[in-house]
Amino acid sequence: MTEPPGRRERKKAATRQKIADTALRLFLERGYDAVGIREVAAEADVAVTTLFSHFASKEALVFEQDEDFEQRLARAVTGRAPHEPLIPALRREVHALVRHCTADGAAPIWRMIDESPALRRYDESMRLRHAETLAAAIAADLELSRTATVGRTIARFVVDAYALAREAADPEAAVDEIFPMIEAAWEAGRSRVRA
């Protein structure tokens, strides 16, 4: 992953990184909406089309690093210890995610996101994608006593917990307040066929 797989790919990665760094710097300096794509491209010394060959949209420039976030919730399910219950594993992972987002360095970025409607909507869409990925992981893990709908529902609830906690005054405490509710929902989701 860190080895040099050829000059070409190194250059490509360097270009991508330079674009992302330049963009984030300009955005933080002068505001997301006040900086145009043409300006980012000029400052990074690439063509606009090159920029869009590396990033699908202007918003994607901001969320560059969070690609693995998509998989972390799913891995918390599929990679947990055998016989470990589902919800506590998810709770641990959400705790970690929240801690990561509220770390010192991340604060200005999240403030910027909160201030821009476009970025907020992009973030919302991302979370829905995350919920779907998580739902798939849960479905693959489901015992017979629960339906697919229950799995999808829990996936949404977990992603909600993450979003709500991030907005809360005390994010970690919020996670601890919400997860018992999710646990209860999960218990109630046992099919009542013969319970």
Partner DNA sequence: TTCGAAAAGCTAACGGTTAGTGCTACGGTC
Partner DNA sequence: GACCGTAGCACTAACCGTTAGCTTTTCGAA
Which residues make up the interface to a second copy (CB under 8 A)? 120-121, 124-125, 128, 147, 149-150, 152-154, 156-157, 160-161, 163-164, 168, 174, 177-178, 180-189
State in angstroms the smallest separation of the CB of 29 from a second copy.
Answer: 27
54 binding DNA? (CB under 7 A): yes
Specify the residue, 7 or 83, whose C-beta has the smaller distance to DNA.
Answer: 7
Q: Does 3 bind DNA (CB under 7 A)?
A: no
**Residue 166 touches which of a second copy, DNA, none (CB < 5 to 8 A by kind)?**
none
| C-alpha span between 142 and 159 (Å, rounded) | 18
- d(CA 181, CA 82) in angstroms, rounded, equals 24
83 binds, among a second copy, DNA, none (CB under 5 to 8 A by kind): none
**DSSP secondary structure string, the chain?**
--S---HHHHHHHHHHHHHHHHHHHHHHHH-TTTS-HHHHHHHHTS-HHHHHHH-SSTGGGTTGGGGTHHHHHHHHHHTSPTT--HHHHHHHHHHHHHHHHTSGGGHHHHHHHHH-HHHHHHHHHHHHHHHHHHHHHHHTT--TTS-HHHHHHHHHHHHHHHHHHHHSSSHHHHHHHHHHHHHHHHHHTS-TT--
Counting residues that bind DNA (by CB under 7 A) gives 24
Which region among 34-42, 89-97, 104-112, 143-151 touches DNA (by CB under 7 A)?
A: 34-42
Q: Which does 160 bind (CB under 5 to 8 A by kind): DNA, a second copy, none?
A: a second copy
Residue whose tokens read 């920029």: 51
134 binds, among DNA, a second copy, none (CB under 5 to 8 A by kind): none
Residue 189: name its binding partner from DNA, a second copy, none (Cβ under 5 to 8 Å by kind).
a second copy
Which of 20, 24, 27, 59 lies at the binding interface for DNA (CB under 7 A)? Answer: 59
Residues that bind DNA (CB under 7 A): 6-9, 11-12, 15, 35-38, 45-50, 52-54, 56-59
